[in-house]
Copies of this chain bind each other. A is one copy, B any other.
């Protein structure tokens, strides 16, 4: 088992990575008082809830099982978590445990942030995407009909428990979506990791345990470093949004749940790379390497056929990366050299989108 630390002063917490952790005492040791509420969904609960329950020795252990899917990541579904906490009389010292993928982690974390103005929570991510990305760093949110993750909070967990065994049951498409975020760390600021991924992509896609564990650990380490440097995204943390502005536009326009988040991010990263090439900032060869690796992971690298430049721009204009009307994008100078920039002509973006997607 590996233990990493996310260094955030008095909000620091450990990430445990290893096989079989769900059945160990790692979750239970971070439940501070006698109450806990497991938040899970209809897909994950039948697989792993029993194992978790058996490993926990808590006076009052309740659960709320939500429908599965990004389309339920909304305020109405969030209310079901509050309803369960209230109905079972959970106090300010309760602990919310997120058992599931990114949607469950985001919703359980946001519920924990708001319930009685904030209670403890623990992340037990069961998808690769959640393990390497959303469970680490304290971003929680639900979607608004007009935009993704628009309503949320920064709320750090007490601990993140990553059991690599649970990935065995993950459907291939969801697994690939997680690999998109793994590749993202290489693209942002870790060229050696990118190269290692390029060398090991077949083993990674075959879920070879050693390669998988190393990929998760390096991803979490890269993410923890970025989060520690800029917890509430005043600056450099925005690099983690590589591919997300284009990606959110795809997700929003297609309806949540149609494209998986990681798929949209994969395509968004290719778009960010291509636009960086068009601006003359990044060598064509680097963009090609990024595209090739993402394709090797079975990820989509072209936007939906029917999506026009106008649609992209409309959805991108409400992205959180817009500061006072000036669109900022995460772009690239090369593999491992991402940057946040608004220093490009708006016209260049719309021209390039029109040429790529049609008007």
Contacts and interface: CB of A to CB of B under 8 A. Distances in A.
A91 B140 CA distance: 18
A332 to B, nearest CB: 23
A144 interface: yes
Interface in A129-182: 139-141, 144-147, 149-154
Interface string A38-80: 0000000000000000000000000000000000000100010
Interface stretch (A265-273, A281-289, A319-327): A319-327
A35 B144 CA distance: 20
A116 interface: yes
Contact of A151 (B91, B115, B144, B322): B115
Contact of A153 (B82, B153, B323): B153
Nearest to A154: B117
Q: How many copies does the complex hold?
A: 2
Given A113-B153, A115-B150, A116-B150, 9 more contacts: A34-B325, A89-B318, A114-B152, A114-B153, A115-B151, A117-B141, A117-B149, A117-B153, A117-B232
A296 interface: no
A152 B115 CA distance: 7
A118 interface: yes
A153 B118 contact: yes
A355 interface: no
Contact of A139 (B89, B117, B149, B152): B117
7 contacts: A82-B144, A82-B150, A89-B322, A117-B141, A117-B153, A117-B154, A117-B232
Nearest to A111: B151
Interface in A309-341: 317-318, 320, 322-325
Interface in A13-40: 33-35
A200 interface: no
A93 interface: yes
A92 interface: yes
B89 A317 contact: yes
A61 B317 CA distance: 18
Interface string A95-119: 0000000000000000001111110
Interface residues of A, number: 41
Contacts of A320: 91-92, 116-117
Given A87-B146, A141-B117, A93 B323 contact: yes
A150 B322 CA distance: 32
Contacts of A147: 86
Contacts of A116: 150, 152, 320
Contacts of A149: 117
A43 to B, nearest CB: 26
Contacts of A35: 324
Interface in A216-235: 232-233
Contacts of A118: 153-154, 232
A149 B320 CA distance: 28
Contact of A91 (B34, B153, B322): B322
A33 B91 contact: no
Given A75-B75, A153-B114, A153-B118, A93 B146 contact: no
A151 B114 contact: yes
A114 B141 CA distance: 8
Nearest to A90: B318
Q: Which 10 A-B pairs have the closest CB atoms?
A: A86-B146, A117-B152, A114-B151, A91-B322, A116-B320, A89-B318, A33-B324, A86-B144, A93-B324, A92-B320
